[in-house]
Structure 1
């Protein structure tokens, strides 16, 4: 097991004191568009057979990095009548450019197969934290298809993909045990490969299957033929990618801290625009929050979660929705009985080692949070205020905010890291507590 990063160098000016929830909630929170869908749809729009439009797209650091990367490759991405409306005009993909991945796994893993279609070298790099996130499976898959990749044998950023205006395609084996993004990244560009692609997963586990289902669904919606009838094997036929005018669903995973707040404080929080059918892993939230003591109702597209302030421990496999684990861990630390979160070993390769980070920070507040081979065991104890480190991880910041609703003096380091997927988080949090629309 790995350990959390080195001690913090934050000063008091870098800290945000999480507000305590003083009264039962009665709030409606407008959650912006899904990052996962926005960045998949941007890639497909860039490879499409004509101009397209994304409406309700997320505008955050991750999605803006994706748009900027596509622009550098020769795709026109412009803002429409609102910031969340993006117009995309495909162009000839060009090389001899640099791509800044920031900390965005979707940029570093979705765009190398796109770069393989360019007319020269595309150099990828990102934040210091991104340079330790595994990239080997995608880069090895591209090499197996005859694409030039130079990563110094490290399987990490920085690396260069040298495109020759086409990829022959064919069959590749990929160990996606570390991230479902290794599969999604290859599938998204596969229809533009000469022979399409047959991808076979070879690893012992496959996390976040809903994210792969999301990729397959978005491909089918733009007319790409995908055969996923065999477990762990995906076959994408070569062919055009249809341009679309499409609306992006709200990010259900980003609804987790707000809906979870209803359990911590009591009262109700509502999220409008909740889809009745979706491939987003955040769709598990109502079931999870109900098991932990809340009630969830969906009426006329509005999801409402109501709590009493009582939170029950849970034993749950989050293999399919690991992105919910940090916020579930916050609830577990405040519960009336122990919790076990299983199936989330892959979280060690996210923005930080999330298992080590959660164990370290919950323990720092006086709790008991222990790592297992594939998750966490959290035993509630009385908590106290302290500095809660985020390690440049947006979900660590929202986890701290949830705990701070009940524990005075939780000071959150670098809360603005939430801009990765949820710009303006602290203002939304304050408005939720005030009972107004957030």
Structure 2
């Protein structure tokens, strides 16, 4: 990991001046939106993805599926999808993955189901993110893929059908390896039988999300044996999906309640969900906050003296690693030590998040120690300064959380938050 070149526009993060009382409506979940788009493109008829998140990642997914021959109407908040028609619009199509792991991993299995070549590439950092395990698995299931070293760029040579069958993968680097195979598995001639062999899979709630969405569309999935998922061959029913708010995006807003000593309500928090962000209901009370369901959604109230009253946290975040940057920022402000473990896999996200958090929080005065699988943080007096984001939206979330408590924090490239939350900076400033 290297520090990026200074961004031309350093955004001054606003600081709270007293207890906040706010209610926020969040954009839809990126994870749900992109899974729904893939399933709609593989379905047996037209579908609608309602309240879809409009962000860079989801628009890249829509464009990728269009390149494969689907039709995705992204006007408005309800996106109509017509499924793939069996061939790419041109002999050779191109897919821009940007910084979207879901595009890089979920679309190649679908590309094997159309006739024609599909070339995949993305932003420079994406060429460092792991995808070789998926490519090897797809070859084992009967697909032809040209790549040089198990990374972007690569080309899928689709024949219109994938034999499918059994495959063993090591998904310890990303749960997306499993989800990618399950999403397209029903359309493979023999379905797919995926077995994981390796260290524990991170972010398992995302696999559970994939399974639930498949079952909603009539697909038979057997997950009765640990680390094995069997998807039966058959149609994927057309389905109108209403997208939940993105609960991981709730983290910085609920952190405002903790920092200000006030309360923040997130509208329409689901009663039951497979989203990893739901873990905030457990994590924040352990830091001294009060969490309660109210008619509007979920309300979090902070300690009476705000961030100065926050307790440290000893937590294994293995299943909810996407929350680690926001949680680490709160822990840097806490009055007692914290230990965050189980998150070695977030080194392979948009950036090496552990190294980036240690560097940027430490640069503002935090007492932080980087470990192979996590961070230790001890109470320290923080000061203002530049916080680099490494083109990573979750790093920007950590930056604005610190900035809400500490004057003078300048966020480099705050616009990277558009990955999952358009106009995040304007929305955040409006609250403060």
Query: Could you say whether these structures have the same fold, taking a TM-score greater than 0.5 normalized by the shorter chain as the test?
Result: yes
CA-to-aligned-CA distance 1:192-241 (integer Å, 9 cap, x gap): 00000000001112100100000000000000000000000000000000
Per the TM alignment, residue 376 of structure 1 is displaced from its structure 2 partner at its CA by: 0.9
Give the equivalent residue in structure 1 for 2:154: 159
1:338 counterpart residue number: 337
Residues 265 and 296 in structure 2, CA contact (< 8 A), matched pair in contact too:
no
Paired with 1:301 and 1:349, the residues of 2 have a C-alpha distance of 36
Q: How does 1:5-404 map to 2 (within 5 A)?
A: 5=2, 7-11=3-7, 13-80=8-75, 83-95=76-88, 96-152=92-148, 154-308=149-303, 309=306, 310-404=309-403
Post-superposition CA distance 1:251-273 (Å, at most 9, x none): 00000000011101110000011
Cα distance in 1 for residues equivalent to 2:86 and 2:174: 27
- Retained in 2: the 8 A contact 1:168–1:195? yes
**Range with greater deviation from structure 2 (60-69 or 88-97):** 88-97
Per the alignment, in what secondary structure is the counterpart of residue 326 of structure 2? helix
Cα displacement (A) at 1:93: 3.7
- RMSD across aligned positions (CA): 1.0
Q: Secondary structure at the match of 1:163?
A: strand
Report if aligned partners of 1:368, 1:378 keep a CA contact under 8 Å in 2. Answer: yes
Q: What is the SS of the residue equivalent to 1:405?
A: helix
Hey, what does 1:411 align to over in structure 2?
Answer: 410
Q: Is the 8 A contact 1:99 1:123 kept in 2?
A: yes
Per-residue CA deviations over 1:374-413 (Å, capped at 9, x if unaligned) read 1111112111111100000000001100000111111000
- Sort the Cα spacing of 1:93 and 1:393 in 2 relative to 1 into closer, same or farther, 3 A: farther
CA apart distance, 1:372: 1.3
What is the CA–CA distance in structure 1 between the aligned matches of 2:161 and 2:198, rounded to whole Å?
A: 28
Cα contact 2:95–2:119 (8 A) shared by 1? yes
Off by >3 Å, runs of 4+ in structure 1: none
Counterparts of 1:427 and 1:297 in 2: how far apart (Å)? 27
Residues 84-103 of structure 1, C-alpha deviation per residue, up to 9 Å, x if partnerless?
Answer: 21000113243410000000
Aligned residues of 1:34 and 1:58 also touching (Cα < 8 A) = yes
Q: Is the 8 A contact 1:29 1:428 kept in 2?
A: no
CA–CA separation in structure 2 for the residues paired with 1:409 and 1:206: 39
Q: Quote the offset at 1:26 in angstroms.
A: 0.6
Kept after mapping to 2: 8 A contact 1:20/1:406: yes
Q: CA deviation at 1:300?
A: 2.3
- Give the superposition deviation at 1:9: 2.1
Give the secondary structure class of the aligned counterpart of 1:340. strand
Q: Distance in 2 between matches of 1:391 and 1:380?
A: 25
Q: Could you state the TM-score of these two structures normalised by the residue count of structure 2?
A: 0.97
- Deviation track 1:20-47 (CA, whole Å, cap 9, x = no partner) reads 1012101111111000000000000000
Q: Is the 1:275–1:301 Cα contact (8 Å) retained in structure 2?
A: no
Give the Cα–Cα distance (whole angstroms) in 1 for the partners of residues 248 and 150 of structure 2: 29
Q: Is the 8 A contact 2:117 2:158 kept in 1?
A: yes
Q: Distance in 1 between matches of 2:318 and 2:226?
A: 16
Give the superposition deviation at 1:301: 4.7
